Amino acid sequence: MSHELSQFRRVVLKVGSALLVDRVRGRLNHAWLAALAEDIADLHAKGADVLVVSSGAIAMGRSVLGLPSGPLRLEESQAAAAVGQIALARTWSEVLAHHGITAGQILVTLSDTEQRRRYLNARATTLKLLEMRAVPVINENDTVATSEIRYGDNDRLAARVATMIGADLLVLFSDIDGLYTAPPASDPNAEHIPVIERITPAIEAMAGGAASELSRGGMRTKVEAGKIATSGGTHMIIADGRTKNPLKRIAEGGRCTWFITPSNPATARKTWIAGALEPRGTLYVDEGAARALQGGASLLPVGVRRIEGTFHRGDAVTIRSESRVLGRGLVAYDAEDATRIIGRPSREIEGILGYPGRTEMVHRDDMALSD
């Protein structure tokens, strides 16, 4: 396949602390960030959805608070993050506003992408921002995350986010222009690998150890991120982010490493729903709804005749008619609320439940139909 940045419709960019924050002066690399914002604006102007996964809250906060270098205690990290998140969000908002782009901040923790109920919320919020042509800026919520429950690095967070929202490309900006057969700083015979079709044990063995004080990542976590991304249908690039306009450099053929996925986000997501999740209940639909689903429609409450099982919002359920299984999907309501609105038009949901729930019982993007 020819790798052209312009062919991707939804791109996640991961920007690390060491790129954003000048560790010597303890402040933002403003010129670099302004140049990256130019790159984002160019991609955005071509119609692509762009998301940023940004580290740097703790690094910026420790600078503002005057905390010494070296390891921080958990509560010091969380305090630094609380101060740094405001500064980081303001900075992204300002550099993107310069190009007429609205930024939206989303803070996530591990459980937001691991628990299906919160995963659906985070996904719906992000997709709505993209629909409104905003650029979501996503960061781990360091003010509440603890070492036991945190991602530990924003490379894997970026990969989770990319697969969550169906991105077709993830770009990890690093201090190196890709994966080498050995650490190039210590091995003069190390060779750059431009394309990785599959992440094998040999590829994993090439990934080195940890990185700088400012970041928690390393090449090892980038390869792990590659496994998450490619299994979710997302291509991934590791590229040197230190140059000005680093995205433009990739577009012009600059050296980087591509991790290729054999799938695409929609197919990978359907596979996950179809096979990896245990159904918690069954929705029986009428024949009209069954025909509509086969035609690519979402499942609306009006088409559901009865419900079996105890399930919660975000759980997988089996969708079937009286005669056959149609597929599986992630349901948008708890069983109790779903029972109250089946057979009813979507416009009546708020009056029945007392809150404006989703129009669909199961959205078509959250559904995998049987052949």
Instruction: Tell me whether residue 93 is annotated as binding.
Output: no
With the CA atoms of 80, 84, 85 and 86 taken in that order, what torsion angle do they form, in degrees rounded to the nearest 10?
120
Instruction: Tell me whether residue 175 is annotated as binding.
Output: yes
C-alpha–C-alpha distance, residues 251 and 350, integer Å = 48
The domain defined by 5-268 carries CATH number 3.40.1160.10: yes
How big is the chain by its Cα radius of gyration, in Å? 22
The Cα-based distances of 71 to 68, 154, 213, 362 in angstroms read 9, 18, 8, 46
pLDDT in tens, 300-355: 999 999 999 999 998 889 999 989 999 999 999 999 999 999 999 999 999 999 99
Instruction: Find, among 229, 99, 237, 117, the residue nearest to 176 by Cα.
Output: 237
Average pLDDT taken over every residue of the chain: 87
Task: Tell me what the mean pLDDT of segment 96-100 comes to.
Answer: 98
Q: Is-contact 179 238, C-beta < 8 A?
A: yes
pLDDT in tens, 30-64: 999 999 999 999 999 999 999 999 988 888 888 88
H or E element at residue 238: strand 235-240
Residue with structure tokens 């409104």?
132
**Alpha carbon 60 to chain centroid distance?**
23
Who's near 100: CB < 8 A, 6+ residues apart? 41
Q: Tell me if domain 5-268 and domain 277-369 are identical in fold.
A: no
Tokens of 272: 């996950």
Instruction: Tell me whether residue 298 is annotated as binding.
Output: no
C-alpha–C-alpha distance, residues 191 and 25, integer Å = 34
Tokens of 122: 């985070």
Task: With cut-offs at 50, 70 and 90, classify the pLDDT of residue 114.
Answer: low
**Alpha carbon 106 to chain centroid distance?**
11
Instruction: Tell me whether residue 315 is annotated as binding.
Output: no
Whether the model pTM is above 0.85: no
pLDDT in tens, 245-290: 999 999 999 999 999 998 888 787 787 787 767 889 999 999 999 9
Residue 350 burial (10 A CB sphere; 0-12, 13-18, 19+):
exposed
Instruction: Find, among 186, 232, 235, the residue nearest to 208 by Cα.
Output: 186
Q: What percent of the chain has pLDDT over 70?
A: 91
Output DSSP code: residue 298: P
H or E element at residue 229: helix 219-231
Instruction: Find, among 59, 39, 29, 30, the residue nearest to 214 by Cα.
Output: 59
C-alpha–C-alpha distance, residues 248 and 187, integer Å = 29
Instruction: Tell me whether residue 365 is annotated as binding.
Output: no
Residue 104 burial (10 A CB sphere; 0-12, 13-18, 19+):
buried
- Taking every pair of C-alpha atoms in the chain, what is the biggest distance, in angstroms? 70
Q: Which residues of 161-198 are buried (b: 16+ CB within 10 A; e: fewer)?
A: bbbbbbbbbbbbbbebbbbbeeebeeeeeeeebeebee
Q: Is-contact 297 332, C-beta < 8 A?
A: no
The Cα-based distances of 292 to 21, 295, 302, 314, 359 in angstroms read 52, 5, 12, 22, 15
The CATH number of the domain covering residues in 277-369? 2.30.130.10
C-alpha–C-alpha distance, residues 222 and 236, integer Å = 10
Instruction: Tell me whether residue 46 is annotated as binding.
Output: no
In the chain, where the domains are located: 5-268, 277-369
- Which range has highest mean pLDDT (35-44, 69-78, 228-237)? 35-44
H or E element at residue 235: strand 235-240
Q: Is-contact 325 318, C-beta < 8 A?
A: yes
Supply angle C-alpha 20, 156, 66, rounded to 5: 35
- Give the N- to C-terminal CA distance of the chain in Å, as an integer: 28
Amino acid 213: pLDDT = 39
